[in-house]
Every structure is written in structure tokens, then in C-alpha cells.
């Protein structure tokens, strides 16, 4: 069992990642940044890709704590926005972490986009950095399309408007187990767990 810091203060995300890793049998005891006694400073996520940002975040936690660190970077890529918000998904509206503002901005921006051009995908890159070892990375993708109004109360971020291919409900209408089984973060984390 290895103690790993997840580079996040988002309680929902920490719970989700812990649940997925446990179910995948990963030998990881996960803690969040808020569980540390040392204060970890956030670094700017200046990467042009999800994998670059995940590596930047994990490496920064390792540098500041000396502990193994796991980071993910994920987001929504929208066809009618040329693949954005992408790496800027969590700060699309300018305010970092304001899920409602970010989601409403995307809906407003593509309000006039017809149904056949509302394709989107959730993409997640995860990177595990253990001091003295090569970083391990994995990626997961779920394709789907965007609704015009939010539906569902579960999940977070853009979940209430995203309908995965093959479903007729949003990821915010799914149970945690159902969402994990198909989600971009679940796919990336299970790929990483297999590699460990």
C-alpha cells in the first residue's frame, strides 16, 4: 500500500478517485491536499494538453511534499468550440471552479449551434509521480453530445448537460457506480491501476 497525495482540494473529486482506485484494486491509500500538514501552493496550469497539466500538477506536489502524487487534468472538448474549453474547462468563465458559470457559458456560446454539431467529449489524463521513478500516465475519453439545458443533480462540472453516446440520460442523472463505469476519469484511472 502506497500513500499518494491527490493534487486536488475538490472533495467530490477526491471521493470519486478514491472509489475508482479502490474498486480497481490499486494499492493506493489516497489523501487530498487538505489532509496534509504542509501548505501546498498551486502552480499555474500552463500546459497546452491535459497530460502536460496533470504532470505539472503532480510534479509540483512531489517537489513541495516529497510524497508520491497523483494528478488528473480533465475537461470537456466541444466540437462547435474547436475542442475548447479543453484544458480551460475549470476556468472557462474566468472564475476558477465555478461549475455553474462555466456550464452556462458553454450553453450560451453554442445556443445557436444546431443539434448535429453539438458533439462533445470528456477527456481525462492522469499522471502518477513517485519520487525517483518515471512518471506513469494514462488517458480516458468518453464521447457524447450536449443538451441545451442542465438535467440531473449528481456529478459536477459539465455533467448535467453531457449525454454519453449510447445513453439518453446525462452523466448527472447516473448513479456514482454507473458514471464511474463509463466515465473518462474512471477509464483513465483503471488504465493507470492496471499499469501499477
Active site residues: 73
What radius of gyration do the chain's Cα atoms show?
A: 16
Cβ atoms 102, 90 nearer than 8 A? yes
* Among candidate residues 147, 151, 168, the one with its CA nearest the CA of residue 160: 151
- Closest distance of CB 145 from a second copy, Å: 16
State which residue, 117 or 148, has the beta carbon closest to a second copy.
117
Residue of 93, 170, 173, 183 that binds a second copy (CB under 8 A):
93
Q: What residues contact residue 37 under an 8 Å CB cut-off, 6+ apart? A: none
Binding map of a second copy across residues 40-59, x = CB under 8 A, - = no contact? ----xxx-x-----------
State which residue, 110 or 192, has the beta carbon closest to a second copy.
110
Residues in binding contact with a second copy, number by CB under 8 A: 24
Cβ atoms 77, 123 nearer than 8 A? yes
What letters, b where the CB count within 10 A reaches 16 and e where it falls short, cover 100-131?
eebbeebbeebeebeeeebbbbbbbbbbbbbe
State which residue, 8 or 102, has the beta carbon closest to a second copy.
102
Stretch that binds a second copy, among 79-87, 119-127, 150-158, 184-192 (CB under 8 A): 79-87
State which residue, 92 or 122, has the beta carbon closest to a second copy.
92
Residue of 1, 39, 114, 175 that binds a second copy (CB under 8 A):
114
Residue of 37, 82, 166, 168 that binds a second copy (CB under 8 A):
82
The residues that touch a second copy, with contacts defined as CB under 8 A, are 44-46, 48, 80-84, 86, 88, 91-95, 104-105, 108-109, 112-114, 117
Amino acid at each position: 500500500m502506497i500513500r499518494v497525495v491527490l493534487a486536488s482540494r475538490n472533495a467530490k473529486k477526491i471521493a470519486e478517485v478514491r472509489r475508482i482506485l479502490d474498486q480497481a484494486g490499486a494499492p493506493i491509500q489516497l489523501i487530498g491536499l487538505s489532509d496534509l500538514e504542509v501548505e501546498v501552493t498551486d502552480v499555474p496550469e500552463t500546459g497546452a494538453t491535459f497530460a502536460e497539466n496533470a504532470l505539472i500538477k503532480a510534479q509540483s506536489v512531489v517537489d513541495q511534499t516529497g510524497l508520491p502524487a497523483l494528478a488528473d487534468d480533465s475537461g470537456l472538448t466541444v466540437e462547435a468550440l474547436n475542442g475548447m474549453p479543453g484544458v480551460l474547462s475549470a476556468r472557462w468563465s474566468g472564475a476558477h471552479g465555478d461549475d455553474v458559470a462555466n456550464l452556462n457559458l458553454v450553453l450560451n456560446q453554442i445556443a445557436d449551434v444546431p443539434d448535429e454539431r453539438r458533439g462533445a467529449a470528456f477527456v481525462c489524463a492522469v499522471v502518477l509521480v513517485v519520487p525517483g521513478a518515471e512518471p506513469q500516465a494514462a488517458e480516458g475519453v468518453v464521447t457524447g453530445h450536449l443538451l441545451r439545458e442542465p438535467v440531473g443533480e449528481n456529478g459536477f462540472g459539465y455533467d448535467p448537460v453531457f449525454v454519453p453516446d449510447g445513453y439518453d440520460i446525462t452523466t448527472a442523472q447516473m448513479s456514482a457506480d454507473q458514471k464511474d463505469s463509463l466515465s473518462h476519469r474512471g477509464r483513465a484511472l483503471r488504465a493507470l491501476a492496471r499499469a501499477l
